Structure 1
Amino acid sequence: MAEQLDVDRLTTVIEDFNTIFIRLPSVRRFNFSTLSVLHTLSRKGPLRLTGLLATEQLKQPALTSLVAKLEQDGLLQRRPDPTDGRAMLLSLTSAGRQIVRSRHANRVTKLTHLIDQLTPEERAVLAGSVEVLTRLTEIAAEDTP
């Protein structure tokens, strides 16, 4: 079965889809790094800065600066780590969670509009791919050191 899959084409298609998907219009514009931090904290938080560094493609000074700005903007908060009083945990505030929720809802609406233009057969194939993409995401998470 793996021989039948054109992984090069699949990679290109995923890249093209991601390019479109991350640019689906949203209510409020943020740069990619800001959105990545907000979404990471939404799914994996609260995290220490070191934990966030492991997921973001930023160097520590840039991430530290971004975290300070997000805290100043009221989108995330720091609080002492209960397991280590010297460390701080970063988590979203209600305003930060609202941004993530509204962006998700907006993407659902936009993606629904696109999916509605598919044939019933194409929608069935797409529905079947959800579990496969979920499994690939799980495998990738397990492979990450």
Structure 2
Amino acid sequence: MKPKTPTTDLNVADFTMVIEDLTRILIRLPSIEKLSFTTLSVLHTLSRKSPMRLTELTATEQVTQSAITQLVTRLERDGLVERRPDPNDGRVVQVHITVLGANVIDSRRLDRMAQLSKFIEGLTLEEKRTISSAIPALRRLVELGNDS
């Protein structure tokens, strides 16, 4: 039997397909909070980068200005975000996530963690260690994606 040699090349196609499949699973995990994907995406973005201008949200969420305005209006009505004047420019409005909005994201994350833990139980110790050792590189990949 030939010993396994560590590979230094990353097969981007395989990596992309695995990330897409994992993302699909994560998005479709059952949740108590039944909100649209775009709504959750805006809340998640704001949970990391609040406050943001509407124009910034339009760019990050890749929707029209009209769509983001309608969505923020609905989220504000539901108490998940609030609009406040920009302290540096009174003509500009910033969108802030509220405690209730942050709680939605936190509860969904905890729920996903509990459900993923069940899947992780099916992995070998070596597989768990491999995933664990990849986390710093995956974080760096996220940083690079956020910078672009």
> What's the TM-score, normalizing by structure 1?
0.93
User: Greater relative contact order (Cα 8 A, min sep 6): structure 1 or 2?
Assistant: 1
Q: 2:32 aligns with which of 27, 34, 44?
A: 27
The code of the aligned residue for 1:9 comes to: D
1:77 alignment counterpart:
82
Match of 1:119 in 2: 124
Displacement after TM superposition at 1:129 (Å): 1.0
Q: Distance in 1 between matches of 2:87 and 2:96?
A: 14
Unaligned runs of at least 5 residues, structure 2: 1-5
Q: Aligned in 2, Cα 1:51/1:25: closer, same or farther, shift over 3 Å?
A: same
Q: Once the 2 structures are TM-superposed, how far is the Cα of residue 4 of structure 1 from its aligned partner?
A: 2.9
Q: Residue type matched to 2:135 in 1? A: V
Q: Would you say 1:47 and 2:52 are equivalent positions?
A: yes
Q: How many residues matched?
A: 143
> SS of the residue aligned with 1:26?
coil
Root-mean-square deviation (CA), in Å? 1.5
The structure that has the greater radius of gyration is 2
Identity of aligned residues (%): 47
Secondary structure of the 2:82 match is strand
- Map 1:13-24 → 2, pairs under 5 A: 13-24=18-29
User: Which secondary structure does the structure 1 equivalent of 2:84 belong to?
Assistant: strand
Equivalent of residue 107 in structure 1, options 107, 112, 117: 112
Q: CA deviation at 1:5?
A: 2.0
